[in-house]
């Protein structure tokens, strides 16, 4: 098996963007090629992580459009969809393409264009991933989040404020991320007093609707130095699935697919949770940061909230989580989010994260599809 290096990374500004998904993908793709000084003609495989360009824009075949726009013909192209975990799934596909020897230069571009739709329309597209048996009752992902948050607070005697503190922390981090959608701090009162969306969760417990794109370039580690001295490696990667019917899970506060996928990723990397120096978790809703931080083994079950209360996951804490600002402040363009997590960790591991820089040799990203229906975990390391 080829060991796989990440030799280039980019992301566009996240937020309300003009243009089509094609424009966003091409912007991130070109920036990534530039970052690594790689010619588009050297790209052998080109993956696009995207959930729903057909539903959002009436456009499909966007990997072909991207290969065309970048001048990367005749590269093999493919779209990777695993709903909101499409980015992590794209990293896994890219890893497999290089590790199997099928490609010596793989580019992944993740992206989504959403803000031209209303929040209700966008939420409906996302809700199409739920099981029809739940969907017909009007369930959406925010409503799952509300139910789960209520259960978590009850089960583990956690204060409502602990959830709000995830938002406060991640907004604070986002201030220093030039690509983030929201670059402003919010205080605890603002979160706690914001409008209720799915009780007990309020507006500031939710990530926004976002346009954006991010890209990565992968090659065998044996060839990485031909391009750059500043590369990282994927030391562990895996994915797993949980029940499609959310209410069938034995314990809704346990994110089974995050547990399973991180176990496999740790095994592959020969690492354990204590080795991780920095992590990007999929904080689509504040509650999800708690659930993942426990499922990937950073904290015991029901203890994730305490870590946030105690500042352990702050940028200057023992285990910084979501130094990028997370989905909460950076934004969540579905197919881009998992790729942008890896972009942040790549910057951190290379010491190029500017004001967000922490001390890190080993990094972990957890990208979640649906309400934990499918999760990919990626472990990246400095070289």
Catalog residues that contact a second copy under the rule CB under 8 A: 1, 20, 46, 51-52, 54-55, 58-61, 63-65, 67-69, 72-83, 89, 92-93, 95-97, 99-102, 125, 128-132, 238-245, 256-257, 260-261, 369-370, 373-374, 376
Using CA atoms of 289, 357, 113, 210 in order, give the dihedral in degrees to the nearest 10. Answer: 50
**Nearest approach, Cβ of residue 177 and a second copy (Å):** 29
Of 109 and 240, nearer to a second copy (C-beta) is: 240
Of 93 and 324, nearer to a second copy (C-beta) is: 93
Of 96 and 194, nearer to a second copy (C-beta) is: 96
**Nearest approach, Cβ of residue 370 and a second copy (Å):** 6
Burial zone of 241 (CB within 10 Å; 0-12 exposed, 13-18 middle, 19+ buried): middle
Of 57 and 361, nearer to a second copy (C-beta) is: 57
**Nearest approach, Cβ of residue 188 and a second copy (Å):** 35
**Nearest approach, Cβ of residue 58 and a second copy (Å):** 5
Of 206 and 371, nearer to a second copy (C-beta) is: 371
**Nearest approach, Cβ of residue 156 and a second copy (Å):** 24
Contact 171, 184 (CB under 8 A): yes
Comparing C-alpha atoms, which of 375, 86, 82, 81 is closest to residue 255? Answer: 375
Bridge-partner residues for 206, per DSSP?
Answer: 285
Of 76 and 156, nearer to a second copy (C-beta) is: 76
The phi and psi torsions of 202 (rounded to 5 degrees) equal -120, 175
Comparing C-alpha atoms, which of 24, 22, 45, 42 is closest to residue 33? Answer: 42
**Nearest approach, Cβ of residue 82 and a second copy (Å):** 5
**Nearest approach, Cβ of residue 106 and a second copy (Å):** 10
Q: Which pairing describes strands 201-202 and 196-198: parallel, antiparallel, or unpaired?
A: antiparallel
CA distance 89 to 377: 9
**Nearest approach, Cβ of residue 240 and a second copy (Å):** 4
**For 246, left (φ over 0), alpha (ψ -120 to 50), or beta?**
alpha
Bridge-partner residues for 16, per DSSP?
Answer: none
Structure tokens at 352: 């190029």
Cβ contacts of 195 within 8 Å, gap of 6 or more: 202, 203
Of 98 and 164, nearer to a second copy (C-beta) is: 98
Taking the chain, what is the end-to-end CA distance rounded to the nearest angstrom?
Answer: 18
Structure tokens at 64: 């072909």
**Nearest approach, Cβ of residue 36 and a second copy (Å):** 21
Comparing C-alpha atoms, which of 49, 62, 48 is closest to residue 20? Answer: 62
Of 52 and 166, nearer to a second copy (C-beta) is: 52
Bridge-partner residues for 196, per DSSP?
Answer: 202
Of 73 and 196, nearer to a second copy (C-beta) is: 73
CA distance 18 to 87: 22
The total number of residues shown for the chain amounts to 383
């Amino acid at each position: 098996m080829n060991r796989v290096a990440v030799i280039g990374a980019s992301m566009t500004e996240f937020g309300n963007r003009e243009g089509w998904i094609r424009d966003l993908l091409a912007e991130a793709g070109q920036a990534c090629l530039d970052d690594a000084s790689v010619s588009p003609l050297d790209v052998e495989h080109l993956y696009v992580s995207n959930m729903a360009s057909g539903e959002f824009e009436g456009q499909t075949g966007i990997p072909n459009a991207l290969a065309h726009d970048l001048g990367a013909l005749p590269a093999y192209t493919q779209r990777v969809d695993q709903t909101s975990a499409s980015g992590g799934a794209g990293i896994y596909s890219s890893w497999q393409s290089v590790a199997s020897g099928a490609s010596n230069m793989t580019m992944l571009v993740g992206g989504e264009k959403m803000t031209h739709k209303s929040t209700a329309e966008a939420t409906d597209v996302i809700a199409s991933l739920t099981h029809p048996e739940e969907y017909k009752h009007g369930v959406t992902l925010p409503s799952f989040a509300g139910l789960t948050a209520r259960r978590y607070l009850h089960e583990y005697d956690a204060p409502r404020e602990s959830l709000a503190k995830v938002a406060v922390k991640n907004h604070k981090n986002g201030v220093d991320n030039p690509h983030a959608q929201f670059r402003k701090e919010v205080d605890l009162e603002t979160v706690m007093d914001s409008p209720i969306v799915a009780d007990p969760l309020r507006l500031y417990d939710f990530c926004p609707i976002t346009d954006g794109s991010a890209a990565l370039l992968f090659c065998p580690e044996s060839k990485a130095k031909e391009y750059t001295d500043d590369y990282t490696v994927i030391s562990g990667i895996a994915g797993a699935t949980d029940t499609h019917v959310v209410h069938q899970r034995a314990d809704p506060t346990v994110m089974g697919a995050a547990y399973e996928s991180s176990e496999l990723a740790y095994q592959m990397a020969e690492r354990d949770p204590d080795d991780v120096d920095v992590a990007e978790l999929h904080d689509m809703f504040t509650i999800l940061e708690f659930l993942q931080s426990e499922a990937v083994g950073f904290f015991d079950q029901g203890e994730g909230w305490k870590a946030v209360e105690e500042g352990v996951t702050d940028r200057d804490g023992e285990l910084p989580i979501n130094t990028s600002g997370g989905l909460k402040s950076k934004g969540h363009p579905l197919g881009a989010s998992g790729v942008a997590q890896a972009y942040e960790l790549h910057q951190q591991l290379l010491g190029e994260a500017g004001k967000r820089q922490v001390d890190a040799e080993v990094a972990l990203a957890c990208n979640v599809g649906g309400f934990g229906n499918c999760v990919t975990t990626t472990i990246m390391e400095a070289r």
